[in-house]
Structures are given as C-alpha cells and as structure tokens.
A and B are shown apart, each in its own frame.
Chain A
Amino acid sequence: MVYHGPAKLVVETDIGTGIREVDGFMIEVSHLTKYYGDFAAVKNLTFKLVPGEILGFLGPNGAGKSTTMKMVTGFLRPSSGEVRIWGSDVWQDGLTAQRHIGYLPEGAPAYEEMTPLGFLEFIADARGLTGVERANRMEETIDVMSLQDVLGQRIETLSKGFKRRVGLAQAILHDPDVLILDEPTDGLDPNQKHQVREMIKGLSRDKIVIVSTHILEEVTAVCNRAMVLAKGQIVSDGTPRSLMEMSPYHGAVTLKSSSASLTEIAEAAGSIMGVEETVITEGGVTIVPGEFDTTLFTKVLDLARSKGWTVDSLYVESGRLDDVFRSLTEGELQGEVQGEVQGEVR
C-alpha cells in the first residue's frame, strides 16, 4: 500500500486508547521472520502500529526484540516477510522509510572520538537538515537531552548516562515520525530513567514509538501498548493494563493488622467465597481470588470488622508484571495466551 496524496479521513477510532488510524500513516509488519542459520530468531511476526501508539517490546534476552528492531529499521534483511513504514517497504525503498525513522541501536553506539556537538552536526548533515530548521532542531534536541554542558567533550570521556543521551539526541534530532529505541534506559540511574521516560511521553501524539526493555515498570510508565516476545514469537499483545490483568494477583487484596496474627487472618480469609489462596508475607496477608472479583475488597473489610481486627493497611493489587512476564516467557501460560491473542490481532 503506497501512500499518495493527502491524509484520508480517520478510518477507525479505537475508543479505548483514543488512537486514530489514518490510512497509510502506520507501520505494518507482516509475517516478519529471521533465521540465523537454522535458528529462528524471529518467527512470523505480524502487527500494525498507528500514530499515537507507544509500543513496549518486552521479552527476555534473546527473545528477538533487537532483531525485530534491526529489521524494522532496515539494518538486517528479513528471511521472509516485510515491513512498511508510511507505505514504503523498508527493503524496496529503504531511504524513504529511513527518513521517517529515528533509531537508537542497542548500546547507544556513537563515534567516540567526536564531541556530542560534532556528532549531532554529522547526523544533521546526514539527515539533510539545513538553515533555520537545523538550528532550531539542534537547539531543541540539546535542550531536551540536557547536553549543553558536555557539547565540547569527547563522547568517549562521557558517563554512560550522557552517552545514552547523546544516542537519544541523534535519534530525535530530525523530529522523526517513528522512533525506535532499543533499551533506551539501560544503564541509566533512576533520575535519568525518569527523564528519558518523560521525554518519550512528551513526544507528540502523532508519532509511533517502539521501546524495547526488560524493565517491566517502564512499560506501565511509558507505553500504551505492550507486546511480549518469547522465542521470536508474540506471546501477548495488549495494553499494559491487560497484561497486568493476566496476573493471578490482579485484584488480590492485602491486609495487615496489628491485632491479629498473620495465620489467623490467613485462615479466616481463606474461607471467604471465591478465594483461591492466601499468601503470608512481611507486608501482611495477600488474599488471592480465584477469579477477578470487584467485591473482594469489601468482603475482606467486612471480615476484619466482624472479627474486630484493627486494619493497619488494606489495598488492592493491580497485578504483578514480573509474574506475568515469567509465566508468559517461560511457557506456562503460553498456549492459552497465544490462543487468546490470535483472536484479536490488530
């Protein structure tokens, strides 16, 4: 599908996310497959991304996240399948597709002997930025990434955090429509992580962002879509919320009381209707429902009242991503979830 002429009208509105799908303005990945010899690094990936979507690519090391990104950006040739960006095939018409993309490769490589300023000037040259636009973009990018103080220092002498920011700066310099970031916060301290996440969230709504990470909270903090890869395949695709809802702890209630012993609470709570399990932890007793139950909180509160316990804390969990992640990528949930996902591939 090659895009000609002006934007067509909105063809579909996803009310849940408020994301608009405009014909042609999107990334389409179809049946993308990559073999290294006999080893299938990526198997038959198919998905579509529209402007406004911030996709979090999750998965253990070796799941195929970086390989997929390398194929989407045109660095690696797929064994089969194709990637279209704004209608241009990354392999047939790489230069057109690549103009839309800003890419931070794994490890944020940069020419270490250069200064950030020299490096960004080179990227601006390569991207064909000139005149006022160039000056504005340079200024804005340096500002967003807070690089003012290190502009004249060789990149090889910079801290890991600054190197990463230089890498991000080159990716956003030309204000790309598509931003592909391979582990953008890897090796950053918590403050820098926060900055990078804010930067990604601050991007305008008409961009597509793909972020790979194995930091789970990053997905809930930044993304509006989460895709979990394992062994080169999509094992889950949905909102970060839907991912959390897969957790057995989704809707679990944790109660802490100083007037009752943990085992006493656990025993009493275990008899509440629909409770599957009670787990004793340092923070109290976690009451896990067999199935998501909005009334569990009230039930537990009623129990505490009827027993006359003093309630120190009582809260509902939204789910534990690391459990979901583990079960998805280690194969427990895999069969079940794949079935679900296939039904709603977007």
Chain B
Amino acid sequence: MSFAVIMKRELYGYFATPIAYVFIAIFLVLSGVFTFYLGNFYERQQADLIPFFNFHPWLYLFLIPAISMRLWSEERKSGTLELLMTLPLSRSAIVLGKFLAAWVFAGIALALTFPIWMTVNYLGDPDNGVIVASYLGSWMMAGGFLAIGSCMSALTKSQVIAFVLCSFVSLLFVMAGFPLVLDLVRGWLPLALIDMVASLSFLTHFTAVSRGVFSLQDFLYFISVIVVWLAATSIVLDMKKGA
C-alpha cells in the first residue's frame, strides 16, 4: 500500500500550508456567489440544487488547476522530486498517491458546501437522492480535472505554466461537445471521430449528472478520463527521467 504513504504526506502538505484554507474559503464563497446571484437560486422558486451544480464545471476550470499545478512542478523545482523518485516506491504508487490526496482534498472542499444542501432542505422538499448523485458526479468530474492537471504539472517546473496548460486542456474537455471545439475538427475529421470528440465533453456528461441522472456510462467516462490522464502523467515523468 505504498500509495497510501504518499497520499498521507500529500494531505499533510495541503493542511500544513495555507493552500487548503485559502482554497476551501474561495471555493465556498464562489460556489455561493454563483448559486445565489448568477444561478438565481431564490428566483427559480424550486427546491433543487441545479443552479449550484451547473456552475461546477466553470468553477473547477480555474480552481482545480490551482490545486493540481503544484503536484509535480513544485517538487521538481524544490528538488524533492529527486528524493521522492529515488525512494523505493513504484512510479504508479507515487502518481496514484498524489492524485488521490488531491482528489480527497477536493472532496473535502465539496463536502463543506453542505450548508447549501441544508438550506434547500429548509426551504423546500428536494429530492435528496438526486442531490447525492449530483455531489458524487461533481466529485468525479473534479477527479477528471485533477488528472488532467496532474499531467500538465508533470510537464513543467513552472507552476504558472502548469496552471495555464491545465485550464486550457480542461476547457477543451469541458467544451468538447460545443461548436467552440467541434468547429476546429469538423473540417478534417471523419464523422465518427467528431462524434467521439463530442462524447468526450465534460459538460455533456455532467449536465445529465447535475440533474440527478448519474448513469454507469457517465461514471465510467470520468473514471476512464482519470485513468488515461494518470497514465499520461506516468509517461511524462518517465520521459523527463531520460531528458
């Protein structure tokens, strides 16, 4: 269980620095602002959390890279990567441990939005099953963003570059089902591949989720995004060793 060793240290790292507290505070404030002001939570007069969850892809788009940018860049810059990679721990254990710690951390931030769930229960009579499914879906999506960010962070020792790259690649994934991305590929890719690109959209999968329809398909989609990007992280780290 060597990944647990890494995970423990990483989680310790989040809470030993202001990162955790700043991140959680900003996340909570922004998710509140988005829900109540942009999402018209009250005006809709409906007892559900759709306006809350609808904004999560956009919130994650710039908040998740803030967590993931340091995953490898910081260690490469400070030299601790050399220490870490020469410990008798497998690469996959290190990659997985770091990712899981970041994912658990994102989960903690997400869980701390519970007052909004209490609010909606106080105000009305929502379908709590839907809300639980949406929370789960949102967390899965955060995992997808984090896995992308992990790979981007492995590419560079600059956290700023890691942040920008992660936001950009994440944006492509979020928007994959929309003209913004599809127009780029429509001219030259066969239709089957265009459909495939469209099906990679975080938004398409998450829209269903935020309405409480969390199918196995969406679940598997996010899991595969995570697995693929973590594998890519491992490959990038390996390439950097030879550089």
Contact = CB atoms under 8 A, between A and B. Distances in A.
Interface of A: 36, 70, 73-77, 95-96, 98-99, 101, 103, 105-107, 109-114, 118, 122-123, 125-128, 154, 170
Given A75-B241, A113-B16, A118-B12, A95 B88 contact: yes
B83 A110 contact: yes
Given A75-B86, A112-B78, 6 more contacts: A74-B85, A75-B82, A95-B90, A105-B82, A122-B5, A154-B16
B8 interface: yes
A16 to B, nearest CB: 33
Q: Which interface residue of A70, A99, A101, A125 has the most chain B CB atoms within 10 A?
A: A125
A111 B88 contact: no
B241 A109 contact: no
Interface residues of B, number: 23
Given A114-B16, A125-B8, A126-B5, A109 B87 contact: no
Given A76-B241, A126-B2, A111 B86 contact: no
A99 B87 CA distance: 7
B242 interface: yes
A73 B86 contact: yes
Interface string B199-243: 000000000000000000000000000000000000000000111
B87 A123 contact: yes
A311 B6 CA distance: 68
A126 B87 contact: yes
Given A122-B5, A125-B8, A105 B79 contact: yes
Contacts of B85: 74-75
Contacts of B45: none
A106 B5 contact: no
Contacts of B83: 103, 105, 109-110, 170
B89 interface: yes
Given A98-B87, A99-B88, A126-B2, A109 B8 contact: no
A113 B8 contact: no
Contacts of A110: 80, 83
A122 B9 contact: yes
A109 B86 contact: no
Contact of A98 (B79, B80, B86): B86
Interface in B57-109: 78-80, 82-83, 85-90
B240 to A, nearest CB: 9
A106 B87 CA distance: 15
Nearest to A76: B241
Contacts of B124: none
A74 B87 contact: no
B119 interface: no
A70 B89 CA distance: 16
B241 A77 contact: yes
Contacts of A127: 87-88
Given A76-B241, A77-B241, A123-B87, A109 B82 contact: yes
A179 to B, nearest CB: 13
B9 A109 contact: no
A101 B83 CA distance: 11
Nearest to A104: B83
A146 to B, nearest CB: 21
B13 interface: yes
A227 B210 CA distance: 65
B9 A111 contact: yes
Given A98-B87, A126-B88, A127-B88, A77 B82 contact: no
B68 to A, nearest CB: 18
A119 to B, nearest CB: 9
The 7 A-B pairs at the shortest CB distance, nearest first, are namely A109-B79, A77-B242, A105-B82, A113-B16, A98-B88, A125-B5, A73-B86
